[in-house]
């Protein structure tokens, strides 16, 4: 496979060096693998820290900045960061108002963030945690006990980040983050397999002319394989899978997310079908975001995330944000 890399062993470090050069508003510690808002800690403000394996960019490092995360910890490709990274990040951004860890539900992430919370509290840092587990495709998978954390991570980080920037206390920021997660559901579809730098070839076999419904962001198996479907048919399968588990009475936020190798031309066309299906199902849409936000390296495909919102959550979603991967209102 052709990749724009030097050697697999330095992929993450090289990317972090490039990120530092492109975004001077961030303090990027390449050696210790921590990305921090350069103005952190912000006095009186709850700090948000997240992280996970690399390969899902812009998640999480691309979401560090005003209105979202205070810091992020990138692990190796598809591998959890270690507790030392998380503790270092928490110490760098804590202003005394506490730190919220946003954790996707993957076994390594959960264990390491739990350990990091204990270590940080030993150092006098108040820590709360929220677990993101929005994927309705499968329960218990290759990487998880329970549901996987996927696209709703963006909603949690954006909305809770806005609440923190408004000066809300840790308990309230945590409660808002939990509300967003509890109100969100996702479903993903793969049109091709993912290739990691270390392996250099597809990590699973997906024959030409087939797709996988319910795929995970590390290439974990989904619900089933089918012959290739039209964009409209895929939208119906994805939206119906989400609505089987979520019955929104209020309008929803919609994330149509590319998995890394799907061009915007296709994603916007797919979004048109998602909007059609939601309209046919009687679901009102408040806001829509389309693009590659929670990716899986070079996987072709997309995911759909819906989040039921109220006026408070919508206001926090609309609040200004300025990060490498998401920005408006500034």
Q: Does 23 participate in catalysis according to the annotation?
A: no
DSSP secondary structure code for residue 135 in this structure = B
Q: Is the peptide bond before 41 cis (omega within 30 degrees of 0)?
A: yes
Nearest by Cα to 162 from 92, 120, 117, 100: 100
The one catalytic residue in 218, 239, 252, 301 is 218
DSSP secondary structure code for residue 239 in this structure = H
221: left (phi over 0), alpha (psi -120 to 50) or beta: beta
- Cα atoms in the 13 Å half-sphere on the side-chain side of 212: 22
- Give the pair of three-digit tokens for residue 180: 């967003």
d(CA 188, CA 190): 7
Q: Does 56 participate in catalysis according to the annotation?
A: yes
d(CA 92, CA 312): 30
Residue 191's Cβ-count burial label (10 Å; 0-12, 13-18, 19+) is buried
- Give the pair of three-digit tokens for residue 33: 């693998």
The one catalytic residue in 23, 33, 37, 56 is 56
- The DSSP secondary structure of 61-125, one letter per residue, reads GGGBSTTSBSEEEEEEETSPPPHHHHHHHHHHH--SS-EEEEEES-HHHHHHHHHHHHHHHHTT-
Query: DSSP strand E in 146-208: where?
Result: 184-190
Helix (H, G, I), strand (E, B) or coil at 187: strand
Determine the number of helices (DSSP H) and then strands (DSSP E) in the chain.
Answer: 8, 14
d(CA 107, CA 184): 20
Helix (H, G, I), strand (E, B) or coil at 19: helix
Q: Which residues participate in catalysis according to the annotation?
A: 56, 218
């Amino acid at each position: 496979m052709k990749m724009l890399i030097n050697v697999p062993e330095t992929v993450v470090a090289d990317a972090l060096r490039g990120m530092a050069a492109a975004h001077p508003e961030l303090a990027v510690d390449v050696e210790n693998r921590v990305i921090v808002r350069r103005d952190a800690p912000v006095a009186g403000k709850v700090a948000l820290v997240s992280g996970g394996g690399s390969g899902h960019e812009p998640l999480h490092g691309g979401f560090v900045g005003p209105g979202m995360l205070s810091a992020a910890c990138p692990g190796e490709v598809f591998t959890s960061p270690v507790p030392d990274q998380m503790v270092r990040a928490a110490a760098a951004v804590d202003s005394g108002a506490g730190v919220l860890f946003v954790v996707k539900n993957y076994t390594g992430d959960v264990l390491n963030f739990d350990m990091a919370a204990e270590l940080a509290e030993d150092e006098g840092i108040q820590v709360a945690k929220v677990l993101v587990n929005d994927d309705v495709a499968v329960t218990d998978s290759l990487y998880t006990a329970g549901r996987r954390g996927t696209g709703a991570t963006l909603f949690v980080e954006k909305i809770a980040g806005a609440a923190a920037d408004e000066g809300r206390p840790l308990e309230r920021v945590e409660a808002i983050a939990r509300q967003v997660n509890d109100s969100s559901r996702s479903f993903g579809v793969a049109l091709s397999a993912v290739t990691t730098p270390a392996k250099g070839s597809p990590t699973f076999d997906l024959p030409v002319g087939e797709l996988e419904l319910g795929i995970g962001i590390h290439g974990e198996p989904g619900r089933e394989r089918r012959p290739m479907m039209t964009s409209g048919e895929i939208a119906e399968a994805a939206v119906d899978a989400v609505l089987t588990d979520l019955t929104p009475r209020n309008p929803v936020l919609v994330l149509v997310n590319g998995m890394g190798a799907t061009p915007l031309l296709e994603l916007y066309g797919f979004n048109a079908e998602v909007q059609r299906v939601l309209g046919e199902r009687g679901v009102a849409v408040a806001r829509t975001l389309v693009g590659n936000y929670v990716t899986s390296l070079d996987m072709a495909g997309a995911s759909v995330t819906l989040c039921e919102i109220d006026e408070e959550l919508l206001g926090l979603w609309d609040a200004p944000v300025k990060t490498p991967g998401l920005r408006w209102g500034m």
